[in-house]
Amino acid sequence: MRAVIPENKMLPPLDKYGGSSDPIKHLRSFVDAMAVYSTDDLVWCRVFSLSLKEEALDWFHSLPPATIDSFATLRQIFSQQYASSKTQGVTFTALVRMRQGRDESLRAFMDRFNRTARQVRNADQRLIVGALTAALRPGPFFDYLHAEEPQSMEELQDRMASFIRIEEGRAHQRGREESDMQHRGSRERVIKQAVGRVDRGNERKWGNSQRMQRYVHHTPLNLPRARVLEEALRANLMTTIHAPTPLGADESKYCRYHQNRGHTTEDCVALKDKLETLVQAGQLKRFV
């Protein structure tokens, strides 16, 4: 039986397959293009070589005569030839292994999680919700999933949108506070440069009086003291002290505040008191 090529009908544009990409995706693309061109199975066999290039085209022309008797046969031998190039499907295990990054926003993580979830075929929605609960870091949305488990992905997405808006609103507010703090810091630096030695002397006096203050209890912070110290230095809320390392000190421990060795920044008693003074003055609210 001869293949009947449609007259006055332009051949649809065909993607060229060279052998390195997924053969199943190429077959799907070819079938979709040919479905509007012809329903003749033999026409598809004749045209298929026009969708190949390089290694794949060489393979096609190396087939023995009378190898192909239908498009089903062509599909089978083509898939077998390039089975090693087939893209591995995403399994449910990929969802189970996902974790929200320490500094990753809820929106960024959910975009990443949803992209993976869409690629998992025939996954039960309850299992997806369970995997999401295990992947999230502690927070308001994490608490919600434990308290009121959604019954469908639609319900999950609706609730998630609310939490994303809340998180982004808080992030915007923190950004404004940091911007205001930086602006105040810049203004203080200009004043210090203008006043010169007198102002720097007053700053040293202020710093000494701060270090003399001692506290029995210290307010818990949500970040290590070393991190809070760096933020306070950037905001010009305090300065470091250069103290010589005592004789016989433990050289393996370093204090960023005193810039010497013998104890760690986290265990520095003077730094604890210094930060507590700033907390009491309302300067470090976002770290409490």
User: What per-residue confidence (pLDDT) applies to 191?
Assistant: 53
Q: What is the pTM of this model?
A: 0.36
Are 280 and 272 contacting, i.e. CB atoms less than 8 angstroms apart? no
Strands 254-255 and 260-261: antiparallel
Which of residues 113 and 173 earns the better pLDDT score?
Answer: 113
Helix (H) and strand (E) counts in the chain:
12, 2
End-to-end CA distance of the chain: 82
**For range 224-230, the mean pLDDT:** 90
Residue 50 pLDDT: 92
> Residue 26 — very low, low, confident or very high, per pLDDT cuts 50/70/90?
very high
- pLDDT given at position 194: 54
Q: What is the mean pLDDT of residues 188-197?
A: 56
230, pLDDT greater than 60: yes
pLDDT interval class at 151 (50, 70, 90): low
Cα 27 from chain centre:
34
Residue 211's pLDDT is 46
Scan for tokens 């998630």, then name that residue. 160
Output 189 or 45, whichever has higher pLDDT: 45
The pLDDT assigned to 3 comes to 59
Domains annotated for the chain, with CATH where assigned, are 23-85 (no CATH), 92-162 (1.10.1200), 196-287 (no CATH)
Which whole-number Å values give the CA distances from 195 to 190, 192, 199, 203, 238, in the listed order? 9, 5, 5, 11, 18
Using pLDDT thresholds of 50, 70 and 90, give the confidence band for residue 214.
confident
Confidence of residue 210 (pLDDT cuts 50, 70, 90): very low
Nearest 5°: phi and psi at 116? -70, -40
**Residue 59 confidence (pLDDT):** 93
Give yes or no for a contact between 90 and 116, defined as CB atoms under 8 angstroms apart.
yes
CB burial readout 36-53, b (16+ within 10 A) else e: ebbebebbbbebbeebbe
The beta-carbon contacts of 236-239 under 8 Å, at least 24 apart in sequence, are 236/185, 236/188, 236/189, 237/278, 237/283, 237/284, 238/207, 238/210, 238/274, 238/278, 239/203, 239/207
Question: Measuring CA to CA, which residue among 127, 130, 93, 99 is closest to residue 113?
Answer: 99
193 or 103, higher pLDDT = 103
Model pLDDT, residue 208: 47
Report the chain's mean pLDDT, rounded to a whole number: 81
φ, ψ at 120 (rounded to 5°)? -85, 120
Cross-strand partners of 90:
120
Which has the minimum average pLDDT: 84-93, 101-110, 218-227? 84-93
Q: Extract the tokens encoding 88.
A: 């591995």
DSSP for 52-78? B-HHHHHHHHTSPTT--SSHHHHHHHH
14-32: average pLDDT: 89
Model confidence pLDDT, tens digit, residues 92-130 = 788 888 888 888 888 888 888 888 888 787 777 777 878
d(C-alpha 228, C-alpha 286), whole Å: 10
Phi and psi for 63 in degrees, rounded to 5? Answer: -65, 140
What tokens appear for 79 in the block?
């898939």
DSSP state of 83: G
Lowest mean pLDDT segment, chosen from 84-88, 90-94, 202-206, 229-233: 202-206
Torsion angles phi and psi, residue 35, rounded to 5: -60, -30
Confidence of residue 55 (pLDDT cuts 50, 70, 90): very high
CA angle 78, 83, 89 (to 5 degrees): 125
